[in-house]
A and B are shown apart, each in its own frame.
Chain A
Amino acid sequence: MPLPKFEYLSPKSLEEALQLLADRGEGTHLLAGGTDLLVKMAHGHLKPRAVIALKQIDALGGIRFDPGKGLFIGATALLDEVASHPDVKAHFPSVAYAAQQTANVQIRNMGTLAGNLCNAAPSADNAPVLTAMGAEAVIAGPKGERRVALDRFFKGPGQTVIEPGEILTAVHVPVIPSGFGTSYQHVSPRGKVDIAAVCVGAMVGMDGATCKEARIVLGAVAPVPMRAEKTEALVRGKALTPEILEKAGRQASEEARPISDMRAGAEYRKRMTAVLTGRALKQAAEAAAN
């Protein structure tokens, strides 16, 4: 279908963008790569009055790595840039991997990591591992900048803490402490390239064979990517033996609150939560050891 008509705005600076956002008010949408926004418009689900493109704002671009402060992924950094960035690959392999696993070549050349988060699909590939790693959204608004950890960022399908008038400017990923490892696991029952039916991100801190710390985030099994806190508690202080991993999996699947939809049934999602949680913990523990 043809796209509905709208006013197109392309500010050059963040200030200008915030101003336009305030001026145009309701019905104004931000455009990053457009791979979610334009699809919704093409299907007639969304008819914005105005669209503010972010790409011309230099300050929102790029990926910066600082060994002390961690990683800053700008709001217009493409999924492909994240997936292929040498520093991301070296220091945040699961972040690169999740970006690499998102969609296909063309979409990764167009879509942004920030857009993936702001779109707030429960299945968003990049949300679980970033959330598990304690990443935070840097949000600019009329009242200045605020930072929100990703585990408090998502409010529901398509909803985040970003208020009207605000713009996410970057995603900040803290440095992975030594002794910690991460993993991203996902399953798509209908083929190798597909939106995930279940996805799991994990970060664990190991002390020898013992798990000191664990953060486990489940995707596509609840309205928002969710922390599996009871599972985290279950593994904390334990050796990650096959039995514990299996228990953890079972616990995670109890915490999951999936629905049945086109991609998978709720029962299958629960089972996969168990399988992927086990796999994620195992892989993260291995990564921690290296």
Chain B
Amino acid sequence: MVLLHIIVNGRGYDLQVGADPHQVDPAHTLAYTLRETLGLTGTKIGCNHGGCGACTVLMDGVPVLSCLTLTVECDGREIVTIEGLSPPEGNDLDPLQRAFMDHGAFQCGFCTPGIILTAKHLLDRNPSPDAETVEEALSGNHCRCISHYQVVQAVLAAAGTEADRDED
């Protein structure tokens, strides 16, 4: 019996590889496993072909598309989904989540988990980015509703570098 050990949002899971309903089939994507097997539906599927960024999660701190990642390839990896950025109850939200709320940086919100996680990695790497750096970082995350104006502001605000963009 092949076992996979995956850490998701700080919790370790030992998953069996196989074709039974409760097992991980090699053909399962990480997006599928997160949503269907682990019940973490905060990760969204907008296309399932790598084109929209909605399914972005952090793998060992780096944003990847969970719809193009095989779960069997995640053995030993540490995954963070939107649910893992902060506990859903309580007030200790990630500064990014706070900033997104304060800036109304979403409408339908379907793109939001992916965008927040991509932004998280950007700020980890570059704590004070300028607007263009943020736009570049988010260019793999589609948003059809507000398309990034308030999103960019929110990311800059979370970084504490809210710039001239506000007035633009």
| Touch between chains A and B, by CB atoms below 8 Å | yes
Which of A7, A42, A105: most chain B Cβ within 10 A?
Answer: A105
Using known A-B contacts A34-B70, A109-B63, determine if residue A5 contacts B27 with beta carbons closer than 8 Å.
Answer: yes
In the complex, what distance in Å separates the CA atom of A106 from the CA atom of B19? 29
Within 8 Å of chain A (Cβ to Cβ): is B97? Answer: no
For window 1-27 of chain A, which residues contact chain B by CB distance below 8 Å? 1-8, 10
| Chain A interface residue bracket vs B | 20 to 34
Contact A104 B140 (CB under 8 A): yes
Using known A-B contacts A8-B72, A10-B72, A109-B62, determine if residue A104 contacts B26 with beta carbons closer than 8 Å.
Answer: no
Contact B64 A110 (CB under 8 A): yes
In the complex, what distance in Å separates the CA atom of A39 from the CA atom of B67? 9
In the complex, what distance in Å separates the CA atom of A42 from the CA atom of B66? 13
How many A-B residue pairs have C-beta atoms within 8 angstroms? Tell me: 78
Using known A-B contacts A1-B48, A39-B49, A39-B50, determine if residue A106 contacts B27 with beta carbons closer than 8 Å.
Answer: no
Within 8 Å of chain B (Cβ to Cβ): is A212? Answer: no
Residues of chain B within 8 A of A34, CB atoms compared: 68-70, 73
CB distance from B43 to the nearest CB of A (A): 13
Using known A-B contacts A10-B72, A34-B68, A55-B73, determine if residue A107 contacts B140 with beta carbons closer than 8 Å.
Answer: yes
Residues of chain B within 8 A of A8, CB atoms compared: 17, 26, 70, 72
Which of B19, B72, B73, B137: most chain A Cβ within 10 A?
Answer: B73
Within 8 Å of chain B (Cβ to Cβ): is A103? Answer: yes
In the complex, what distance in Å separates the CA atom of A106 from the CA atom of B48? 14
In the complex, what distance in Å separates the CA atom of A7 from the CA atom of B2? 13
CB distance from B121 to the nearest CB of A (A): 8
Using known A-B contacts A43-B49, A109-B62, determine if residue A38 contacts B137 with beta carbons closer than 8 Å.
Answer: no
Contact A35 B27 (CB under 8 A): no
Contact B27 A2 (CB under 8 A): yes
Contact B140 A105 (CB under 8 A): yes
Within 8 Å of chain B (Cβ to Cβ): is A272? Answer: no
* Chain B interface residues toward A at CB < 8 A: 17, 19, 25-29, 32, 48-50, 53, 56, 62-65, 67-70, 72-73, 118, 121-122, 136-137, 139-140
* Chain A interface residues toward B at CB < 8 A: 1-8, 10, 31, 34-35, 38-39, 42-43, 51, 53, 55, 103-107, 109-110, 192-193
Besides the known contacts A39-B49, A104-B140, 9 further A-B residue pairs in the complex with CB atoms under 8 A apart: A5-B19, A31-B73, A34-B68, A38-B70, A53-B72, A105-B122, A109-B62, A110-B64, A192-B139
7 contacts between A and B (CB under 8 A): A34-B69, A34-B73, A42-B49, A105-B118, A105-B121, A105-B139, A106-B64
